[in-house]
C-alpha cells in the first residue's frame, strides 16, 4: 500500500510515525502511522478512492484546531490539506479559498480587498475546510451566512459543487458531518465595504478574544457546543469547575468553556477533564454537553 502511495505522492511528502502534537492546536498526541501532505486536488482524486478500495482508515486534517489525538497515536493515514492547499483568490465580491487556507488569513484577504462579512472569522484557529464542515462561527457570524458554494470530492473521487442550501448548515454542523465528502474549495460571497471600518471591527473582535479567552494556552477553542437555552461556560462555572484540572489539563479560569493545556498535559488528561466536566454538569443541571472536539486514535 505504501509503495502505491509513493507512486502518487513524492516520498518527501509521505511521513511515517509523525507526532501529532506538531499538528494540533492542543499540542498533544501520539504518532500517526503515516501522514500524507497533499499539494493538489489530483493527488486526492487518486489517493482517496484507492484507500477506500483497500479499506484503509484515514482522516482528513486541516489545521488540527478541533482535534484531540490519543497519546498512543493513530493507526491510520492522516491526509493533511494544510500548507499545500491554501490558495486564496479574490474575484469581485467573492473569495475563492482552498480548504487548507486559514480562516483568519482569509478574513485578512477579505479586509485588504475591502470586502465585509467575514470579520467574525478573525481569530478562529481553524482552516476554511474545517470551518465549512462545522459551520464555524463567532460573534453572531457563521460560515453559512457567507458561503455561496462548496467544491467537494466523494470517496470515489467524483467532484461535486454544493450550493448553500444543499450544505444543510446548522449549529456547528453541515451535510459533510454525515457524508463522506472532502472539502476542496469554497466560494465566499461578501459585500463591498470600507477597509478602515472592516479593520476596526476585526480589531475590536480580536480584543474581545484576548480579554475573554485563554488564547495564550494551547486549546481547541470552545470545547463544547452551546446547549440549547444555556451557555456551556456558565454551566461549567456554576458546577464549580472553574480551574478544575487533571495533570496538565485544566478548565480555564478565564473562560470555563475552554479546556486548556497548561504545558504538560497529555491527551488522556484533556479527555478526562472533558468527560469529568460532562458528568458533573449532567449530574448538577441534567444538561448534556456535547464536545466540539473530535477524538481520534488510541488514548
40: DSSP letter: S
Q: Which residues pair with 79 in a beta bridge?
A: 36, 60
User: Hunting for cell 489525538 — which residue is that?
Assistant: 69
What CA–CA distance (Å, rounded) separates 30 from 72?
5
4 Cβ partners below 8 Å, 6+ apart? 50
- CA–CA separation, 45 and 47 (whole Å): 6
In this structure, what DSSP letter does residue 177 have? Answer: G
CA dist., res. 248 & res. 266, Å (int): 7
Instruction: Give start and end residues of each alpha helix (H) in 134-194.
Output: none
Cβ neighbours around 92 below 10 Å, total:
10
Question: Does an H or E element contain 120, and which?
Answer: none
Sheet containing strand 58-61, strands side by side = 14-19, 31-37, 74-80, 58-61
**127 Cβ contact partners less than 8 Å away, ≥ 6 residues apart:** 62, 63, 65, 81, 82, 86, 99, 100, 101, 102, 103
* Residues tagged active-site: 172, 222, 292
Q: Which ranges constitute the DSSP H helices of the chain?
A: 2-8, 41-53, 103-112, 128-133, 195-212, 232-238, 267-285
Amino acid at each position: 500500500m505504501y509503495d502505491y502511495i509513493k507512486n502518487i505522492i513524492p516520498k518527501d511528502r509521505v511521513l511515517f510515525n509523525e507526532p501529532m502534537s506538531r499538528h494540533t492546536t492542543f499540542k498533544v498526541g501520539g504518532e500517526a502511522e503515516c501522514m500524507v501532505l497533499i499539494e493538489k486536488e489530483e493527488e486526492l482524486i487518486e489517493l482517496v478512492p484507492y484507500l477506500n478500495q483497500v479499506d484503509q482508515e484515514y482522516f482528513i486534517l486541516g489545521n488540527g484546531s478541533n482535534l484531540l489525538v490519543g497519546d498512543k497515536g493513530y493507526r491510520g493515514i492522516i491526509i493533511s490539506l494544510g500548507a499545500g492547499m491554501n490558495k486564496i483568490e479574490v474575484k469581485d465580491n467573492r473569495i475563492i479559498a482552498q480548504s487548507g487556507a486559514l480562516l483568519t488569513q482569509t478574513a485578512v484577504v477579505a479586509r485588504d480587498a475591502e470586502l465585509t462579512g467575514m470579520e467574525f472569522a478573525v481569530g478562529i484557529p481553524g482552516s476554511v475546510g474545517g470551518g465549512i464542515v462545522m459551520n464555524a462561527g463567532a460573534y453572531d457570524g457563521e460560515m453559512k451566512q457567507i458561503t455561496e458554494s462548496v467544491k467537494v470530492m466523494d470517496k470515489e473521487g467524483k467532484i461535486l459543487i454544493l450550493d448553500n442550501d444543499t450544505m444543510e448548515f446548522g449549529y456547528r454542523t453541515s451535510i459533510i458531518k454525515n457524508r463522506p465528502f472532502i472539502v476542496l474549495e469554497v466560494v465566499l460571497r461578501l459585500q463591498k465595504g470600507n477597509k478602515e471600518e472592516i479593520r476596526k471591527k476585526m480589531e475590536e473582535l480580536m480584543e474581545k478574544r484576548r480579554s475573554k479567552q485563554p488564547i495564550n494556552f494551547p486549546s481547541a477553542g470552545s470545547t463544547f457546543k452551546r446547549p440549547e437555552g444555556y451557555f456551556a461556560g456558565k454551566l461549567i462555572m456554576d458546577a464549580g469547575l472553574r480551574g478544575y484540572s487533571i495533570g496538565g489539563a485544566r478548565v480555564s479560569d478565564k473562560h470555563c468553556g475552554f479546556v486548556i493545556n497548561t504545558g504538560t498535559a497529555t491527551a488522556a488528561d484533556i479527555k478526562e477533564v472533558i468527560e469529568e466536566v460532562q458528568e458533573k454538569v449532567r449530574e448538577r443541571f441534567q444538561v448534556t454537553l456535547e464536545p466540539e472536539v473530535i477524538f481520534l486514535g488510541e488514548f
